[in-house]
Chain A
Amino acid sequence: MALLTRTPAHPPELLGLWLLLAAVPVAALPHAWEQPPWVFAVLLAAWLWRVMIHAANTQLPPRWVMVLLVLAGGGLTFAEFGTVFGQQAGTALLLVMVALKLLEIRSQRDIVVSLFLAYFVVVTTYFFNQSILIAAYSLLSAWLITAALIQVHSGRVLPLARLARSSGLMMVHALPIMLILFLVFPRIPGPIWGSPHEDPVGQTGLSDRLEFGDIAQLLENEATALRVRFEGPVPPSSQQYWRALVMSDFDGRGWRVDRGRPEVPADGDGPGDIAYTATLEPTRAHYLPVLDFPVGIPDQGRLLDNLQVLTSRRVDSRLQYSGRARLDAPPAWPLSAEERTRALALPAAAAPRARVQAGLWRAAHGDDDTAIVQEALRLFAGEPFRYTLRPPLLRGDRTDAFLFESRAGYCEHYASTFAVLMRAAGIPARVITGYQGGQWMDAGNYLRLRQADAHAWTEVWLEDRGWVRVDPTAAIAPERIETGLSGWFGEDIDAPAFLRRSGLPWTVQWRLRISDWHDVATFRWESLVLAFDPERQRELFARFGLDATDWRSVLIALAVSLGGLGVLAGLIALLRRPRDRRDPAQRALDRLSRRLRRHGLAREPHETAAAYATRVRDARPELAGPLADFAQAYTHLRYADLDAQEREQFQRQLWRALGEAKG
């Protein structure tokens, strides 16, 4: 053997550079969707430059160039964001600096620093996206970064498979600690400084204003809006009205949301109440969709007197909340004169022909408001009103144009027109927007409401019953209400693919299936991981009789769980350690010696197996056969160069001889 150790073929100080060059773009990739394009251009350029330096074995840029580049990077970031702090600007700056760091890697230390920064890049991904896909992807990034760290410190070029395995094992072994710290590390609600990421992107989904066509437009949007898990029985689909916004002001073209007045929430603890937990996708608005009629209010929101729930902070990230609903008994508050005026208001010029129609109904039915409601619904239910995906464009006064000319519309056409008719007839009315229907996800046991499930309906004030929900859509398209959108549009070839029940190519079917799996995974991820907050932590601690707000409890929990983990790891190590390090043949010889000790024939330490066998044979001639076999097998096993088959054969001979050599 050579006296000097083999020296690595690569300069050891740059071991792992290639892996670093692979890890940085992988770690940074999710930012491509969040950062201005120039940030990525800088990253790509620096990366290419570095690869070329390495490939062509040329010089790194001189120091003054680096200083200029760093200044330029900082300047660009400042020019783009007006700051270099905060989530967006800070992340951009981090990416630029990681890119430039690639250009000045001279030593092992530089590689290590870059890899640490790459971990940081992975963490900043979560400021923008916390989906399960990103979670899986960032595991890949962390795996690569860890592999690069291992390569840097192993002092030689390791095979990729070994690196992959070592890195993967390190991550797997770290999972228990991660889990314990995640559950036990004290959580503090709210930000300490600054405010969470505020994205200038506009509102998605329902908006504060409702015009004809607004909800029909959402029909194409298959994105999930809300996921709901029920704690008890699931109410029938036709009873599930998720109210988000209440519109009381009509200006002739559309409806505007009524901010309402805060009201003491009705005490709701009835036996038939429906308890649910909903997860709302970011709306960048303040409303929380709640199941009609809300009796238990989510902690994050406050109930207004028109039964809307609004949050104080805009919903910019996924939000989970719990609520309770009573399906049939709307809480009745008296209608104030002011509210009555508001709920009857119609612009003077609006819908002249509809007003005439309402006047006729009023004249026919006198004081019977219910009969007027029935008249209007009967009107919609009969021909030639159609419920359609593609309502025609309307001219002139929209209400009249719809009611007397096109007679084809979507839920907002019916809801708005119905409300106008009611107001014209002197019945207080308002339009509600929210979600209705949805898809029951068996795999996750939850209800998935898409943006497409957006719906508009109305409420009218009846003197003896208070606000009563009337859904004109149910009159014209009952299937829409009872079985959801696909119930009505399932056979319509114009409908978006996710609503159709047949006639889809298999590629689209698979896309939809994958989309469903993704939604289920997202839901579980959400409820298992992302929803863990100080409140959940308190509940978890309480289950073990501990108080999460008391630092002593936290310390106890940490000590017990980490200590338990240590004991477990120790036990596993103990169990996996080979119990006997001796050679198997040596073990057999020791056993033989122990067995013969009773007869005063223990092996002397200096005796070889052959010499021992000879001595025993002289004393116990009857054992001559097995002893000879034993000595032969032992000698071969210990000293001969055997192939696997021979080894096995001698091992068998050894143990057989041992068995036969019974004293």
Chain B
Amino acid sequence: MRSGKLNLARDHGLRARWGRLREDFVRWVTRRHQTDGRRARVTRDRVYILPTRQGYMLLLILLVMLLGSINYSNNMAFLLTFLIVGIGHNAMWYTHRNLLGLKVTVLPVKPAFAGAPPVLALRLEEPDGRPREALRLAAGGRESPPAFLEPGASVDVAIALEARPRGIYRLPRQRLSTRYPLGLLEAWTWLTLDTEVVVYPVPIPADAMQAAATDGDGEETTVPAARDALPDEIRDYRPGDSPNRIAWKAVARSGRLFVRDSAGGEAAPTWLDWDAVPGADPEYRLSVLCHLVLEANAAGQPFGLRLPGQRLGPDAGPDHLGRCLRALALFGLPGRNPA
């Protein structure tokens, strides 16, 4: 039992070292590649191809066939052996072509909450008018099921990445590979398509917060009274106004952009305040705020978020929500982390 553990530990160490070596090697091989941005095309100079284990197995079988042919001077055995050699050789070409020319676009990664896997999605496009089979995308140690493309078509391939703590991450390097048609060889390309993955804090429900609340500093966090039924004031659109507040009827009538300005007539918006959340653990506070932000957004009311050194809103709508969640995700972090 003990030795087993020990072995495991050593194995783990070796594997980690191997992983680092591998990573260095890949970095060295791809050093001439430029970072791809959001779109890349699989060009000839970035397709790599090597035999697979099955390829070596067939090679061995062919060798035995060849020896048999030589030994028995059997011309038909020679013919078939060489036919399979030809097929195997051409498989190199086929496999390479199956990957070559594809256009790859990274789709925006939907933000995920910590603990849930962010989903990386790439769009593959087939520009050369030939079908593509069994394309596999791998990133961050995960692999997608095989994808295929009809001539001229496009397909989205997704991988659930590893779940991570909150923060903002760069995408791991992607590997697009194929073994089609015979599995004797694998052609692959390394892509460094770039987009960011934002991981929000895990939302922790408000009742949990209330249960945890010890000081009575809840004045500002009280849920505001129902909105007054006062008619909205209409004013001209100013850059920065939320599109949610555009008064579409007025716009339709006049052709000018108007927004409803309800700030004056409404009750004070909810402020979600860092200082109002009890507890010493900043991660816990962020989680609670995250839940509150989501709840406030679901209620459709304008709200503001106050973090040490930051003030967001008050405002409403998905953009505001995104800004708030992002602020929570990044709070106290230096910048992007490599995923």
Residues of A within 8 A of B (CB): 1-5, 7-8, 12, 87, 109, 112-113, 116-117, 119-120, 122-123, 126-127, 130, 134-135, 138, 142, 146, 149-150, 152-156, 158, 166, 170-171, 173-179, 181-182, 185, 187-194, 196-197, 529-530, 532-533
Instruction: Name A1's contact: one of B94, B155, B183 (CB within 8 Å).
Output: B155
Q: Please, could you name 10 A-B residue pairs with CB atoms under 8 Å apart, sorted by A?
A: A3-B158, A8-B146, A109-B54, A119-B84, A156-B134, A170-B182, A173-B90, A176-B86, A178-B86, A182-B82
* Structural contact, B119 and A142, CB atoms closer than 8 A: no
**Interface assignment of B91: CB less than 8 Å from any CB of chain A:** yes
* Structural contact, A530 and B76, CB atoms closer than 8 A: yes
5 new A-B contacts at CB < 8 Å, known A123-B69, A126-B74, A177-B82: A5-B158, A119-B61, A126-B77, A138-B80, A152-B183
Chain A nearest CB: distance from B143 CB in Å? 12
* Structural contact, B156 and A5, CB atoms closer than 8 A: yes
> Taking A154-B180, A174-B90, A189-B73 as contacts, is the C-beta distance between A142 and B144 under 8 angstroms?
no
Chain A nearest CB: distance from B185 CB in Å? 10
Chain A nearest CB: distance from B135 CB in Å? 8
| Distance of A153 Cα from B136 Cα, bound (Å) | 12
Interface residues in B63-84 by Cβ distance below 8 A to A read 64-65, 67-84
Instruction: Name A530's contact: one of B58, B70, B75, B133 (CB within 8 Å).
Output: B75
Q: Which residues of B contact A532 (CB under 8 A)?
A: 75
| Distance of A175 Cα from B82 Cα, bound (Å) | 9
* Structural contact, A529 and B86, CB atoms closer than 8 A: no
Tally of contact residues, B, Cβ under 8 A: 51
| Distance of A130 Cα from B65 Cα, bound (Å) | 16
* Structural contact, A170 and B91, CB atoms closer than 8 A: yes
**Interface assignment of B89: CB less than 8 Å from any CB of chain A:** yes
Instruction: Name A175's contact: one of B83, B147, B157, B158 (CB within 8 Å).
Output: B83
> Taking A155-B133, A155-B146, A173-B90 as contacts, is the C-beta distance between A142 and B84 under 8 angstroms?
yes
* Structural contact, A123 and B77, CB atoms closer than 8 A: yes
* Structural contact, A5 and B180, CB atoms closer than 8 A: no
Chain A nearest CB: distance from B147 CB in Å? 5
- Most A Cβ at <10 Å: residue of B61, B69, B76, B155: B76
Closest to A529 in B: B75
Instruction: Name B78's contact: one of A7, A116, A119, A185 (CB within 8 Å).
Output: A185
- Which 3 pairs, one residue from A and one from B, show the smallest C-beta to C-beta distance? A155-B146, A174-B86, A177-B86
Chain B nearest CB: distance from A5 CB in Å? 5
Q: Which residues of B contact A113 (CB under 8 A)?
A: 57
Chain A nearest CB: distance from B331 CB in Å? 29
Q: Which residues of B contact A177 (CB under 8 A)?
A: 82, 85-86, 89-90
Chain B nearest CB: distance from A561 CB in Å? 13
* Structural contact, A171 and B83, CB atoms closer than 8 A: yes
Closest to B67 in A: A192
> Taking A5-B155, A152-B183, A154-B180 as contacts, is the C-beta distance between A529 and B79 under 8 angstroms?
yes
Chain A nearest CB: distance from B214 CB in Å? 44
Chain A nearest CB: distance from B179 CB in Å? 5
* Structural contact, A4 and B158, CB atoms closer than 8 A: yes
* Structural contact, B133 and A135, CB atoms closer than 8 A: no
* Structural contact, B73 and A190, CB atoms closer than 8 A: yes
Instruction: Name B74's contact: one of A5, A130, A149, A154 (CB within 8 Å).
Output: A130
